[in-house]
Amino acid sequence: MQKNSAAVPDSIIFGFHALSDPLRVKVIELLRQHELCVCDLCDTLGVTQSKLSFHLKNLKEAGLVRSRQEGRWIYYSLNLAQFVVLEQYLAEFRRFSPILPARCCDDQAN
C-alpha cells in the first residue's frame, strides 16, 4: 500500500466539508457578529429545529462553532481558532505554489 506523503489532517477535511453546504455557511454568517440561540437561528433562516440541529452538529464536529447551554436554550458562537487553521492551510498554497499567477509575477519582477 502506498503511503500518502501529503496527508491532510481531519480537521481541515471536516472544516471544508462543513463549509460546503449553503445553509451551514448562512449559519456561520449569522454568528459572525455575536452568539445566537437555536430559536433565533431557526427563525432567521426559516428552518425547523430538527433540520438546523443536523447542520449545527456538522459545524460542531468540524470545530467551527461552539455551544453552551443556558436554561433550556443552546447558544452557538464561532470558534475562530478553527477558522485560523483553515486560513493557514489555504495560505500555504499561495505562499509555496509556483503555479499561482501572483507567485509567477513576483518571480518575473526580480
Question: pLDDT per residue over 59-90, tens digit each?
Answer: 999 999 999 999 999 999 999 999 999 999 98
Domains and CATH numbers, the chain: 10-109 (1.10.10.10)
Helix axes 10-18, 80-96, angle to 10 degrees: 100
Give the DSSP H/E element, type plus range, for residue 49: helix 49-61
Question: In 3D, which of 44, 15, 39, 14 has the Cα closest to residue 29?
Answer: 44
φ and ψ at 15, to 5 degrees?
-65, -50
User: pTM for this structure?
Assistant: 0.78
pLDDT of residue 99: 65
At 23-67, the pLDDT tens digits run: 999 999 999 999 999 999 999 999 999 999 999 999 999 999 999
